[in-house]
Amino acid sequence: MRQSLSAFIGLRFLLAKSKNRFISFISMSSMLGIAVGIMVLTIILSAMNGFERELTQRLLSVVPHAEMSAVKPPMLNWRQQIEQATDHRKVEAGAPYIKLNALIMQGADLKGLDLIGVLPEFEQQVSSLKKYVSKAAWQSLTANNGAIILGQGIIKDLGLSIGDKVFLMLPPAHYQGRLKALKSVSFTLAGAFKFGGQLDYSQAYIHLSDAQKINDYPQGVDGVRLKLTNVFNAQEIIRDVAIKTDEPLYISDWSRSQGHLYNDIVMVKFITYLVLVLVIGVASFNIVSTLVMAVQDKESEIAILITMGLTQGRVMRIFIIQGMLNALLGCVLGSLSGYIISVNLSAVMNWFEQTFSIQFLSGDVYFIDFLPTQFQWQDLMLLVLSTLLISFVATLYPARKAATIEPAQVLGQ
């Protein structure tokens, strides 16, 4: 009973009507401030987790995690390089590639693109390209078939159709910067892919043999693309792999070409946690104000309790519990509302887009055209624990002030 006395009195003080209605208003505002802060931050973190998931599962499924390219191409021993790389426990697979810069011509229109030569049987082990094209288009990527797969954005801009002849202009093989006539080659448009974002406007795929013919490579390739088990540790993994090779190689990873997207996500998450401290800090000031005024309002009751033998420690616990109950109610309310909105965020935003005829994310600019969400319990637990810790610190000053009340001065007035 003694152990629960402080909790009982603290709960009574919290629920009892105060003479000063302003105290109740401040108490309610502090609870709602905490609830709104947790709700908003939970939604933001869920959206950032969703972007990170889509970045990993969608964009990084078609962008090479890491590449090793020959200093002096062609790389003739690419099979050996792949075998040696996959010996590393964090490398899943490898595939050869040839990368060319080209201009695609359609009437008077010109568009620059990255023309990538691949071996389908190897490429499907390192990327999900096969999922984004039709079965017929994928099967058309055979040796010397002259088939090309373009991004949906390029096809739309140039008004192309499947089966059309596509004319490309490329620099001559082994171009060294001297002015020479461009090489013109033609392909048959076999299919389209739609990854989302700028990739749909800047990439095209052909068979490796066609790329070798353009580049005058009888056998070799430019380098190999690798699929890694941990994409967010790509720099360290590719460095370890390259150190063990027998020849000098250029190495790169996805963070050089697409890393700005992940850095943006990390930055927003950091700012979110910073906002957490500020939002909860403001709400904590309200808790301090509420308890300070509550102590002044309950001075006579506190003085009576002290004269009846209640220790200073128990008096402190009364107001600490009162403040923590206020914070806990805000955490519960914010957590429930944040969870409900977070798990339904994509549907809610889709409803907004359809109702008001607006589009928050354009597939022409971003790699997705919807607002993703992924609720994680650990994020919510971090928010709640941080809030309770800050709130606990905020209750110490008014609780200490209540414990130092002199009954003789209060009751003698």
Q: Is residue 279 part of a domain?
A: yes
58 vs 211, higher pLDDT: 211
Give yes or no: residues 49 and 76 share one domain: no
Residue at a domain's end among 247, 276, 296: 247
Cα–Cα separations (whole angstroms), residue 363 to 155, 197, 275, 352, 369: 15, 6, 29, 17, 4
Q: Is residue 25 part of a domain?
A: yes
Q: What is the pLDDT of residues 36-69, one digit of tens each?
A: 888 988 998 898 888 878 777 777 788 889 999 9
Please tell me the distance from the alpha carbon of residue 156 to that of residue 151, in angstroms, as a whole number. Answer: 9
Q: Is residue 256 part of a domain?
A: no
Give yes or no: residues 43 and 124 share one domain: no
Give yes or no: residues 220 and 151 share one domain: yes
Task: Name the amino acid, one letter, at 281.
Answer: G
Q: Where are the beta strands (DSSP E) in 244-286?
A: 249-253
Residue at a domain's end among 216, 247, 278: 247
Going by pLDDT thresholds of 50, 70 and 90, the confidence category of residue 327 is: confident
Residue at a domain's end among 225, 247, 269: 247
Task: Name the amino acid, one letter, at 93.
Answer: A
Query: What pLDDT score does 367 carry?
Result: 59
Please tell me the distance from the alpha carbon of residue 223 to that of residue 210, in angstroms, as a whole number. Answer: 16
Going by pLDDT thresholds of 50, 70 and 90, the confidence category of residue 206 is: very high
Give yes or no: residues 134 and 82 share one domain: yes
Give yes or no: residues 92 and 233 share one domain: yes
* Mean pLDDT of the chain, nearest integer: 82
With contact defined as beta carbons under 8 Å apart, do 324 and 332 qualify? Answer: no
With contact defined as beta carbons under 8 Å apart, do 150 and 192 qualify? Answer: yes
Q: What is the pLDDT of residues 121-175, one digit of tens each?
A: 999 999 988 888 888 888 889 888 889 999 888 898 888 899 999 999 887 765 5
310: closest CA among 14, 2, 13?
Answer: 2
Look at the chain and report how many structural domains it folds into.
2
Give yes or no: residues 282 and 377 share one domain: yes
What is the C-alpha end-to-end distance of the chain, expressed in Å? 32
335: closest CA among 51, 41, 27?
Answer: 41
Q: Is residue 65 part of a domain?
A: no
Give yes or no: residues 342 and 395 share one domain: yes
With contact defined as beta carbons under 8 Å apart, do 317 and 6 qualify? Answer: yes
Kindly tell me if the per-residue pLDDT of 181 is higher than 90.
no
115 CB-near residues (< 8 Å, 6+ apart): 99, 100, 101, 102, 168, 170, 204, 205, 206, 211
When pLDDT is averaged across residues 382-393 and rounded to a whole number, the result is: 86
Kindly tell me if the per-residue pLDDT of 1 is higher than 50.
no
75: closest CA among 59, 99, 42, 58?
Answer: 99
Give yes or no: residues 218 and 292 share one domain: no
Query: What pLDDT score does 211 carry?
Result: 92
Please tell me the distance from the alpha carbon of residue 66 to that of residue 21, in angstroms, as a whole number. Answer: 64
Give yes or no: residues 162 and 281 share one domain: no
When pLDDT is averaged across residues 182-206 and rounded to a whole number, the result is: 86
Kindly tell me if the per-residue pLDDT of 28 is higher than 60.
yes
Please tell me the distance from the alpha carbon of residue 193 to that of residue 64, in angstroms, as a whole number. Answer: 16
Domain that holds residue 219: 72-247
Give yes or no: residues 271 and 229 share one domain: no
Q: Is the pTM of this model over 0.75?
A: no
